[in-house]
Amino acid sequence: MDDRPPPRRPHPALTLALAAALAAAPAACRPAATPAPPARPAAVTVAVPEVRRITEWDEFSGRLAAPERVDIRARVSGYLDKVHFQEGAVVQAGDLLFTIDPRPYSTEVARLQAEVDRTRSRVEMARVESRNAERLRQSSAISIEETERRLKALAESIGGLKAAEAALASAELDLQFTEVRSPITGRISNARVTAGNLVHGGAQDATLLTTVVALDPIHCYFEVDERSALKYRDMIRTGQRASALDSRIPAEMGLANQTDFPHRGVVDFVDNQLEPGTGTIRARGVFPNSDRLMAPGFFARVRIPGSGEYEALLIRDEAVGDDQGRSFVWVVGKENTASYRPVTLGPKVDGLRVVRDGLKPGERLVINGLMAVRPGATVAATEAPMTPAAAATPSPAAPH
Alpha helices by DSSP H, listed for 209-303, are 226-237
Task: Give the whole-angstrom CA distance, residue 346 versus residue 375.
Answer: 25
Alpha helices by DSSP H, listed for 139-225, are 144-177
- Say yes or no: domain 57-67+215-305 is CATH 2.40.30.170: yes
Which pLDDT score is estimated for 396?
40
Which pLDDT score is estimated for 127?
75
Strands 263-270 and 42-47, by their bridges, are unpaired
The domains of the chain are located at 45-54+310-387, 57-67+215-305, 102-177
- pLDDT-above-70 percentage for the chain: 82
Task: Give the whole-angstrom CA distance, residue 385 versus residue 128.
Answer: 101
The pLDDT of 124-146, averaged and rounded, is 68
Would the pLDDT of 4 be above 70? Answer: no
Which pLDDT score is estimated for 93?
92
The answer to whether 165 and 116 are in contact (CB under 8 A) is yes
Strands 310-315 and 364-368, by their bridges, are unpaired
Where is average pLDDT lowest: 130-144, 228-242, 300-314? 130-144
pLDDT tens for 289-320 read 988 888 899 999 999 888 877 888 899 888 89
232 CB contacts (<8 Å, ≥6 apart)?
Answer: 224, 241, 243, 244
Per DSSP, the three-state class of 239 is coil
> CA–CA distance from 98 to each of 87, 109, 236, 335, 377 (Å)?
12, 20, 52, 83, 82
pLDDT band at 395; cut points 50, 70, 90: very low
Which pLDDT score is estimated for 393?
47
Would the pLDDT of 265 be above 60? Answer: yes
Query: Residue 199 pairs with which residues in a beta bridge?
Result: 78
Would the pLDDT of 89 be above 80? Answer: yes
Calculate the average pLDDT of the chain.
82
Per DSSP, the three-state class of 266 is strand
Estimate the share of the chain in helix, then strand, then coil, as percent rounded to the nearest 5: 30, 35, 40
Residue 67 DSSP symbol: S
Decide which of 3.50.50.60, 2.40.420.20, 3.10.620.30, 3.40.50.300 is the CATH code for 45-54+310-387: 2.40.420.20
pLDDT tens for 179-225 read 999 999 999 999 999 999 999 988 788 999 999 999 989 999 999 99
E strand or H helix at 121: helix 103-138
Which pLDDT score is estimated for 116?
85
pLDDT band at 27; cut points 50, 70, 90: very low
Would the pLDDT of 105 be above 90? Answer: yes
